[in-house]
Amino acid sequence: MATLLVCLAGPEIPWIVLSVLLGTSQAGAASHLFVLAGQSNMAGLGVVSEADFPDSIPQVRVWNGFGELSGGWGPLRPGLAFKKENFGPEMTFGELLSARSPSDTFYLIKVAVGGTMLADEWRPPSAGGPGYWYSAMLENVSSALDSLVSRPPLEGVIWMQGESDAIHDSTARAYSANLRAFVADVRKAWNAPAVPWYIGLIDTQPSWPYAATVRAAQADVAQYLSCIVSVETIGLQTDGVHYGTEGQKQLGRLFAEAWMARTSSVERGDKIRLISRFGDITLVGLNVPLAKARWVDWNGATTEWFKIGEGMIPIHRSGRTRCLQIAIPGERTYVMKVPPL
């Protein structure tokens, strides 16, 4: 697993070197945990007989919380949807990640139920819940992790939901506040304040007259909370309500690519180092005049954006791990975890 080197220095301490895991491949196996949740387009209506999947992928372990093949850990295989004739994005998501890091083990906890609403079944406690599937998701995650000898680190929540909330004006308008509360409550429940969320933007279809409102809420949550990644789904193969076989395969790849892009060392992670020297942090290898960065605390609070200029930004000291967001014009926003300074 490649690392981002974080070098800390100051007049009162010697040089020390810390490593921030970026999740890319290295010699030696690692374990990764993801939670996949949402409604029918996460549950999946891809048709197993129309797809060319292997019988199973043993290095990807799945806990399916709802469906005909639910209960307990098992290898990734087709049929982990509501009905065993179907599949969801977990297939290509797991396929792509395992192909990229064949020596690693990936754990997927999937809890997805069709026709459910964030305003109802997924409603978080701080927004008037908990809804049934909010609680069921937490219970599934707890049971799944309790059954493991060693708990892998949670590296992402994959959320594909919102179509049902986009049917009515009132639930669509409430989606922004509900989603922010949902992410914050889940992070608090799992003691994972900086875990990234990969949120699929719902498609725009006549079946959901208020899709634009929900999509805007999904995209805007990154303005309020840290470590949020939006995943565009417009253009995927669909029948107007559900992604079909090719659409589900594409959706899983999009989520996998989003995680890999955020954690990849290929583009910049192997070129950027953070060096603390007397009150500033230097991003070595980054020479983009218009680039900017900001600190994101464990509770979602952010500093102002700083222009990086020659690569220097002020240190924001904290007793907790934070995220450093780096925005580079024409590229994605890079997010790096930084240990307490």
Cα(211)–Cα(336) distance, rounded to whole angstroms?
32
Looking at 263, 290, 310, the residue that finishes a domain is 263
305, 230: one domain: no
Looking at 263, 290, 319, the residue that finishes a domain is 263
Query: CATH no. for residue 37?
Result: 3.40.50.1110
Q: Concatenate the DSSP letters of all residues of 225-286 into one string.
A: SSSEEEEE-TTS-BSSSSB-HHHHHHHHHHHHHHHHHHH-IIIIITT-EEEEETTEEEEET-
CB 193 within 8 Å of CB 234: no
191, 89: one domain: yes
107, 157: one domain: yes
For residue 99, give the nearest of 152, 60, 146 by alpha carbon. 60
11, 87: one domain: no
Looking at 202, 229, 263, the residue that finishes a domain is 263
Give the helix ranges, DSSP H, for 53-168: 90-100, 132-146
Q: What are the pLDDT digits (tens) for 60-86?
A: 999 998 877 777 899 999 999 889 999
294, 238: one domain: no
Phi, psi of 53 (to 5 degrees): -105, 150
159, 240: one domain: yes
Residue 302 pLDDT greater than 90, yes or no: no
CB 40 within 8 Å of CB 114: yes
Residue 332 pLDDT greater than 80, yes or no: no
Q: How many domains does the chain have?
A: 2
Structural domain span for residue 294: 3-22+272-338
Cα(262)–Cα(306) distance, rounded to whole angstroms?
21
Q: What are the pLDDT digits (tens) for 256-286?
A: 988 887 764 323 333 344 443 333 444 444 5
